[in-house]
Structure 1
Amino acid sequence: MDLGIKGRPALVLGGGGGLGRASAIALAREGALVAIADIDPAAVKASCEAVEAVGGRAHGIVWDLADIAAIDAHVTEVEKAFGPVQILVSYTGGPPPTLVSGQSADAWRKFFDMMVVSVIGVADRVLPGMRAAKWGRVVTSTSSGVVAPIPNLGLSNALRLSLVGWSKTLAREVAKDGITTNIIVPGRIATDRIRFLDEAKAKRENRSVDAVAAESVGTIPAGRYGNPEEYADAVAFLASDRASYITGTVMRVDGGLIGSV
């Protein structure tokens, strides 16, 4: 299937590894011009090389998403490299495992800026170009915690829900301009983040990581963790011309994990 995005400039926030890198590669395979932003210079370089290895064009940017003041300069750099951004895919790092109660105001502000304000700020910066083109895709990755809150991920559950409300509201505002905006939710996808969470749980409960992972897999109807490439293919579809009538949604890529309708 031709997804119809050949030559379209794409920006992947948090594209230095895991789901972000897989998504950058998936977009590049479809011919998109992919700008990759991440705080880790080595990760940016590795992701750019991975995109180029599949025949794509990449432009890397070392970008701390918590630095809200840098948004305009970084997006301008992308525009100079590839033109106005027409596809925005956003990943943000998650906060450490915590209870939702008893967290400091500074912690809430820090992660709100990094996980929410940054994503909204970048979207606001690129939307005028999408409107001018009468075409745009905004795909925001969150967490299964926005559907079913995850124990001991209090900050993440609360803050990522902000993006769901924002995306749904934005979808109604920009649909007339040929722009779609959707949330995509991972279940247990085999990434460093999931490994970190399994290790943290194993440490808290004085169990082996393998035991924790096996228990987690046992809750997934598909009987395994997902592959980053499977998630990235869903991202690429939502970012495509073929998905022009899908907007304001929350798509789950979870192997059946989330029990609610």
Structure 2
Amino acid sequence: MDLGISGKRALVMGASRGLGRAIAEGLLAEGVTVYGVARTAEAITAWAGDQARLTPIAAELANLASVDALADRLLAEGGIDILINNSGGPPPGAAATVGRGDWLAQFEAMAANLFHLTGRLLPTMRANRWGRIVTIASSGVEQPIANLALSNGIRSAVVAWSKTLAAEVAGDGVTVNIVLPGRIQTTRVDELDAAAAARTGSTLEAVRTASAAAIPAGRYGRPEEFASMVVFLASQNASYVTGSKLRVDGGAIRSI
């Protein structure tokens, strides 16, 4: 299937590993020119090599000056057509114990600066009458995940922002959607499983087995399976899909 995005320009946050890397690879396979962002550009070059259509950029989403420098560079080069907001995840912690400082710091990195970056890049999309904004959240916004209070709370705010923005820009040919990963086999999920094993006194293998057993599909997802859904939402074919939340979780969330 031709997704109609060959020659488009995309910014992929968190492109050094996991979901961000898989999304960048999926877009590259469709002929998209990709700006991949991570804390160090070398972390992207390590997997990407010298691909002609991939430009690694070092930037830190938690640092406003770094975010503005990234936006300045992209706008000077003509802006982008596709924005993949992928902020990574905060440390685990219970709602009753997470401190105010943690809430403020993580909200800035995962929400406020993400909103700011989107706002700076959005005018070019609206002027071109074409744009795709896809934000990676978590299934915790529909069914809170134990010991992930920061993620559950902050990502829920991101979902509400995305839904609001979608209605504002739909008439300009810009779509805005959220994708919710379940248990996808990434380094981030490995870290969470290890934390759960340490917290419960269990083994890592026992935690993984129990997690997989709770998923109707009976396994963790693969990054490329998740990325294929994001790439579709970034495509011309998805021009009538906006304001949506798409779960990629093997059926783990049972609510209607």
Normalising by structure 1, we get a TM-score of 0.95
SS in 2 for 1:16: coil
Q: Name the counterpart of 2:118.
A: 123
Matched, 1:165 2:144: no
CA distance in 2, matches of 1:195, 1:30: 29
Q: Tell me how far apart the structure 1 counterparts of residues 213 and 66 of structure 2 sit (CA, whole Å).
A: 43
Flag the 1:59–1:79 CA change in 2: closer, same or farther, 3 A: farther
Q: Secondary structure at the match of 1:65?
A: coil
Q: Once the two structures are aligned, what percentage of the paired residues are identical? A: 47
Deviations 1:172-195 (A, max 9, x none): 000000000000000100000110
* Map of 1:90 onto structure 2: 85
Tell me, in whole angstroms, the C-alpha distance in 2 between the residues paired with 1:71 and 1:43: 18
TM superposition shift of 1:42: 2.9
1:39 aligns with 2:34: no
After superposition, what is the alpha-carbon deviation per residue over 1:222-242, rounded to whole angstroms, capped at 9, x for unaligned?
Answer: 111000000000000000000
The answer to whether the 8 A contact 1:44-1:62 is kept is no
Consecutive unaligned residues in structure 2, runs of 5 or more: none
Select which of 52, 57, 61 maps to 2:57. Answer: 61
Please tell me whether residue 18 in structure 1 is matched to residue 13 in structure 2: no
The letter of the residue matching 1:11 is: L
Contact in 2 for aligned 1:48/1:59 (Cα 8 Å): no
- Structure 2 Cα separation of the partners of residues 47 and 107 of structure 1: 32
2:224 is matched with 229
Cα deviation for residue 48 of structure 1 reads 3.7
Distance 1:159 1:252 in 2: 18
Across the aligned residues of Structure 1 and Structure 2, the Cα RMSD in angstroms comes to: 1.3
**2:3 corresponding residue in structure 1:** 3
Which residue in the other structure is 1:136 paired with? 131
Residue aligning to 2:207: 212
Q: Which residue of 1 aligns with 2:101?
A: 106
SS at match of 1:96: coil
Partner AA of 1:228 in structure 2:
P
Kindly tell me: are residues 80 and 31 of structure 1, through their superposed partners in 2, closer, same or farther at Cα, counting changes over 3 Å? farther
Aligned length: 256
What's the secondary structure of 1:259's corresponding residue? coil
Give the gaps of 5 or more residues in structure 1.
none
Q: CA deviation at 1:69?
A: 2.5
Amino acid at match of 1:255: G
8 A contact 1:143–1:160 mirrored in 2: yes
When normalised by structure 2's length, the TM-score is 0.97
Aligned counterparts of 2:124 and 2:227: Cα–Cα separation in 1: 24
- The CA deviation string for residues 72-115 of structure 1, in whole angstroms up to 9 with x for no partner, is 3212323445x311100011121111001232221111100110
Does residue 72 (structure 1) correspond to residue 68 (structure 2)? The answer is yes
